[in-house]
Amino acid sequence: MRTAPNTPSPADPPRGEALRAAFPWVSSRTLQFTAQGEFPLAFPSECPLLMHCLQFTVEHRLTPSYHDHLEISYVFEGRGAFVLENRRHPLQTGDLVVVGRREFHLIEADFQTPLRALSLHFMPELVHPPGGAALDFEYLRPFHHHGSSFSHHLPAAQVPRDLVLDRLWRIHEETTARREDYPLAVKTHLCDLLLVLSRHYRRAGVEPVPQDHRARDFERLREVFSFIRKNCHEPVSLRQMARLAHLSPQYFCRFFKAVTGNTLTEYVLRMRVDLAMEFLSSSAMSVTEIAYAAGFSSHSYFDRVFKRLKGVTPQEYRRQLKI
């Protein structure tokens, strides 16, 4: 692609430690979510793509979230786990994950090892506008057609590291500099990454199964998510949640886990631990006071659940925040 006269060409990406230092890393704890667990973003109208350079630590929330856009995340360094629905994938440097619309997911870092990830968030219209060419839709097929053999996780051995890092750097550089033609450059580099994904899934022989039902399933649980978010510190009744979703209690249990990857009980516990993490980091309350304020029936039960989900006790978590 030619650049405009007197417009400097994007620099080649730095290497090694210089590349790590070049990205503006921020804590994943700074991300904001709605009462329903949505991660909303305000995309630039001329180029609906945002890149986040995130550092995941023990402070990251435990409740899975979703968004109404598409995501590609590359593990720049570190170890952790990627959780989506009923599957948990170990993460290490060089791995890549793809997330579609309204797919509840979570990235966790090992307690001892922070995980840094470069995350592209974009609207599909950037690549394939409504009524656009069918060929352009092929770039997005991995986000829309998931068969039984589909995996949202690509291990490092299956990811062309140099190409992926180069394109991610160039996207970062273009969105930062915002030259006159940056939307075209960003789309070009994004399509290079999407081609890598498309070829991977074609080689894997993933059969197409449309995912259009996800929007309908999510809407059925919208009031449930809002209620739990606002009242997680109080007892949450299965029958009450089933009534909100207009389902029988038995079917609600299966339906809720199919959509979120968690049982209702586990989802509420994760929400309570997230609330407790806020208290531990921002209040002077004792651990016992926090346990009851977050909805746990006892200090000992709070300790057990917190350690199971975070890998450390509440006291250890609070000490870690002060280091």
For the chain, domain boundaries = 16-204, 213-322
The residue to which tokens 């599909």 are assigned: 124
CATH fold of the domain at 213-322:
Arc Repressor Mutant, subunit A (1.10.10)
Check residue 126 and report its DSSP letter: G
Long-range contacts of 187-193 (CB under 8 A, 24+ apart): 187/47, 187/126, 187/127, 188/1, 190/49, 190/120, 190/122, 190/126, 190/127, 191/127, 191/139, 192/163, 192/167, 193/72, 193/120, 193/164, 193/167, 193/168
One-character DSSP codes across 200-245: HHHHHTPPP-B-THHHHHHHHHHHHHHHHHHHTTS---HHHHHHHH
**Paired sense of beta strands 26-27 and 79-84, if any:** unpaired
**Do residues 80 and 97 touch, judged by C-beta distance below 8 A?**
no
**Do residues 23 and 76 touch, judged by C-beta distance below 8 A?**
yes
The helix (run of H) or strand (run of E) holding residue 104 is none
Taking the C-alpha atoms of residue 293 and residue 297, their distance in angstroms, rounded to an integer, is 10
Most confident residue range from 25-29, 37-41, 116-120, 318-322: 116-120
Q: Quick one: average pLDDT of 240-260?
A: 92
Say yes or no to pLDDT of 200 above 90. Answer: no
Ranking 93-97, 110-114, 147-151, 249-253 by mean pLDDT, the lowest is 147-151
Average pLDDT value for the chain? 87
Summarize pLDDT for 47-97 with one digit per residue, the tens: 999 999 999 987 778 888 889 899 999 999 999 999 887 688 999 999 999
The pLDDT value given to residue 9: 54
The two tokens of residue 7 are: 């417009």
Say yes or no to pLDDT of 4 above 60. Answer: no
The two tokens of residue 108 are: 């966790």
In this predicted model, which residue has the larger pLDDT, 126 or 217?
A: 126
The two tokens of residue 313 are: 């006790």
**β-pair partners for 296:** none
Neighbouring residues of 318: CB distance < 8 A, sequence distance ≥ 6 = 280, 281, 287
- The correct answer on CATH 2.30.42.10 for the domain covering 16-204 is no
Overall pTM > 0.85: no
Determine the distance from the C-alpha atom of residue 16 to the mean position of all C-alpha atoms in its chain, rounded to a whole number.
26
